[in-house]
Amino acid sequence: MTTNVVESGSGPKNLPSRMLGVIMSPGDTFRSIVAQPRWLDVMIVVTLLLAALQFWLLSTEPGQVAMLDQQVRQMESFGMTVSDEQYEGMQKGAGAARYFAAGATIVFGPLMTVAIAGILYAVFNAALGGTAQFKQVLSVVAHAGVVPLLSALFATPLNYVRESMTSPTTLAVFLPMLEEASFAGRLAGLIDLFLIWWAVVLAIGLAVLYRRKTQPIIIGLLSVYILIVGVIAVVMSSFGGSN
């Protein structure tokens, strides 16, 4: 089914207005964005701020302790045993982790944004007959990235205080009765409320761009998300065992 692309909007907005608008009034903001597609400025700001938050946290002692604890937990979740020698090696590399983490964010953050935009462009244009331009899809995806930035701004201070890299906004936080090593516990620990919010905001932008109903897009994006985390939870349970 061919859909018409939005051709007019409420006028161009500056970067702060667009970033705030994605959170406060996504529908109106995306109408402006798809009419005047811009993606580079918001991608640069979001990427650099995320990298700066990573760099700061891993420059602190609580952040480095949290990082080491997360690495050990991840290795053990896949059935690996961390020896004393391995742990000492990880400790020696903790000081340089801030550079690797910030660098990875700067390199892979934009690549992931472009990749997601490419997948959505293929699905909606090639498979569903849409007529949007790629830069419009990329603009929608790039602006939806404001939600993960908000998540990092919220979680980073908490992770510093908690000395933990585990997300404070997953379902596991609200379901403490679940065993961490069980499938249900792993699944709950992988479902992040901010990622759900991101999917909803992204769905609103796509609905505006392709003039489709928002609810089916939300259901589709969340279904893919749940499928991915479900597969990860199954793999982790298979390698690490479950209670």
Tell me which of 58-62, 76-80, 102-106, 195-199 is least confident: 76-80
Average pLDDT over residues 28-56: 96
DSSP-derived letter for residue 170 is B
Q: Look at 86 and 40; give whichever has higher pLDDT.
A: 40
Give yes or no for a contact between 54 and 26, defined as CB atoms under 8 angstroms apart: no
Percentage with pLDDT > 70 across the chain: 88
DSSP-derived letter for residue 60 is S
For residue 151, is pLDDT > 80?
yes
Q: How many CB atoms lie within 10 A of CB 10?
A: 12
Region label for 240, one of left (φ > 0), alpha (ψ between -120 and 50) or beta (otherwise): alpha
For residue 54, is pLDDT > 90?
yes
Average pLDDT, the chain: 88
Which of these, 111, 193, 102, 115, lies nearest to 150 by C-alpha position? 193
What local confidence, expressed as pLDDT, does residue 44 receive?
Answer: 97
Specify the pTM. 0.86
What local confidence, expressed as pLDDT, does residue 9 receive?
Answer: 46
How do residues 3-35 score in pLDDT, each as one tens digit?
Answer: 444 444 445 689 999 999 999 999 999 999 999
What local confidence, expressed as pLDDT, does residue 68 receive?
Answer: 84
What local confidence, expressed as pLDDT, does residue 95 receive?
Answer: 75
Show me where the domains of the chain are located. Answer: 15-240
Give yes or no for a contact between 38 and 101, defined as CB atoms under 8 angstroms apart: no
Which of these, 170, 126, 133, 159, lies nearest to 38 by C-alpha position? 133
What local confidence, expressed as pLDDT, does residue 11 receive?
Answer: 56
CA torsion sign, 16 to 22 to 28 to 34? Answer: positive
Q: Look at 73 and 132; give whichever has higher pLDDT.
A: 132
Q: How far apart are the first and last CA of the chain?
A: 48
pLDDT band at 229 (very low <50, low <70, confident <90, very high): very high
Average pLDDT over residues 167-185: 86
What local confidence, expressed as pLDDT, does residue 2 receive?
Answer: 42
Average pLDDT over residues 191-205: 96
pLDDT band at 144 (very low <50, low <70, confident <90, very high): very high
How do residues 74-125 score in pLDDT, each as one tens digit?
Answer: 776 666 776 667 667 777 777 788 899 999 999 999 999 999 999 999 999 9
